[in-house]
Structures are given as C-alpha cells and as structure tokens.
Amino acid sequence: MGYRHIEVRPLAGAIGAEIDGVDLKQPLDAAVFDEIHQAFLEHLVIFFHGQHLSPVQQRDFAARFGTPNLYPFVKGLEDCPEVIRIVKEPHETKAFGEGWHSDTCYLERPPMATCLQAIETPARGGDTLFANMYLAYETLSEGMKAMLDGLVAVNSASLLNRGGRNTRFGFAAIQGQNESAAETTVAAHPVVRTHPETGRKALYVDVLHTTQIKEMTREESAPILDYLFKHAGRPEFTCRFHWRPGSLTVWDNRCAQHNAINDYHGQRRVMHRVTIEGARPF
C-alpha cells in the first residue's frame, strides 16, 4: 500500500522497515496509527529512531497495538510495571534474548507483539537479528509441509536455565525473577500457526523454548526440530538492526523470531521492553 502520513523504508528484502515522519511522544491520530499498523503487518518488524520515550509513553504507544501484559519472570518498573528494564553490565557475559526465538511461547497465550526501546547502547555491537517465519514455512518442501500439518510442539520456560542456555537468570541486573516457576511453565502450540490478521501460515518452533513434538519422544523429535531450527535462521529470511539510544522497535511475535547478538562484552546496554497480549495460537 502507499503511505501518506509516514515514510516507510524496507531494511532488507525479507523483513523489517524503518519508519520516519512520526513523533511517538505525541498523540497519534487514527490515520497515522493505521499506517503504522499496516507497515507492522507488511514488514513484521518496524523500527523508529530518535524517540526517547518515558516508560509511560512507551507503554501507551504499545497499547495502541493491544493490551500490555506483565512478563512472568521479571518484575516491571515500580511506577510502570508493564515495562521491564533489561540491563547487561560490563562484567556480564550472558545476554537477555540471545538465540533465535519467539517471545514466551511457553505461555498459553503468548504475546502478539513486543515493543523494545534502547536506553543505553554499547559503542559497538549489540545488534538484533530478525527472521521472517512466513518465509521459513513457505520455503519448506511440500512433503515437509504435509508432515508438519497438525503437529503440536511442546514449549517450556525451563530450557533457558539448562545446558548453557541460561539467558534469563544468568545476570544480576534482572530483578524479581522467579526461577522455580520456569520449571513448570509449559504450553503446547501448533508447529505451524496461522496469523489471525493476515491468514498466512508461519513456522512456530524455536531453539530456546521448544522441547519436543507432542506424542513423540525427545529423541524422535530431535531430527525434525533441529532441521527446523536451522532452517528458520537462514540469512535470506533475516534483517539486522543497529540500535542507538532512542531507537524503538515493534515486532510481530506471531510470525517473526529474533536473536539478540551477544558481542559487546565489557560494555553496558540498557533496554526497556513491553509485551502485548495475544491469543492462543491456532
């Protein structure tokens, strides 16, 4: 579609677009937000620069997409609990969100979108990769699509605490965590989900959360899942975003995965995150 109120520049061939011509600190009229929402659906992840929103302003902008919710394992800001503060200190080696994943797919109703703002960024490094899960599904062979049709994946929060994958609880800057609850936070969702707004199918398994295919053992599931994990992150499905203070992004958690690149040891990074309530995948 054409855009009359905002400027939309695709960041890569597969996914992502930068948006200019809008100040998110100001109230957005319906026509402007409709175009932002259309760009979100078309490009799966949208990026803004120079916004510098307060926590309340970020929450209120996120609320235009849906109802902000509370992350189950990290306490939000005291005066704005829907916003969590994610900090990686110079001495820490684990990063929140490293590894390809969709946010919190171990919940019965995973968030439909995530709104992330950069508060403090390293001098170099700290980019985020995004991948198009529509393309990940659509480029599978017809035989693989037929095999996946109707399969259900088991997703667990506990994987993040095991086998060197600890990216949530491994660093001291995250407060209010509930590690024991992660062991019992499990949800089963379709391996291939249908987007409720676009009607397109998207691959919905990821290496950080998916433990096995339902009604299969882990050993039986592993060859299928390992292939899908590798396939989902193929370079031609991706874009790479470089943060600077005041950068803000909203991604569609129903059809995109992301991967926070952990390449800035010895530097500090501070982000504010809001997740937006979603429906049960189907």
Residues labelled catalytic: 101, 103, 258, 273
Pairing verdict, β 45-48 and 17-20:
parallel
Bridge pairing between strands 238-241 and 84-88:
unpaired
Cα distances from 254 to residues 36, 112, 186, in angstroms, run 17, 6, 18
Question: What are the tokens at 104?
Answer: 């919190």
Block residue for tokens 């059809």: 255
Contact 228, 205 (CB under 8 A): yes
Note the Cα 125 to chain centre separation in Å.
19
- SS3 at position 61: helix
CA distances to 31, 89, 93 from 267, rounded to whole Å, are: 40, 7, 10
Which own/partner contact pairs does 4-13 have at CB distance under 8 Å and 24+ positions apart?
4/31, 4/35, 5/31, 5/32, 5/35, 6/32, 6/35, 6/36, 6/39, 8/35, 8/39, 8/43, 10/43, 11/43, 11/47, 11/239, 11/241, 12/238, 12/239, 12/240, 13/236
Residue with tokens 């506990």: 158
Q: Are residues 240 and 255 in contact, defined by beta-carbon separation less than 8 angstroms? A: no
C-beta separation of 17 from 46 below 8 A: yes
Question: Which sign does the torsion angle of CA 21, 23, 26, 29 carry?
Answer: positive
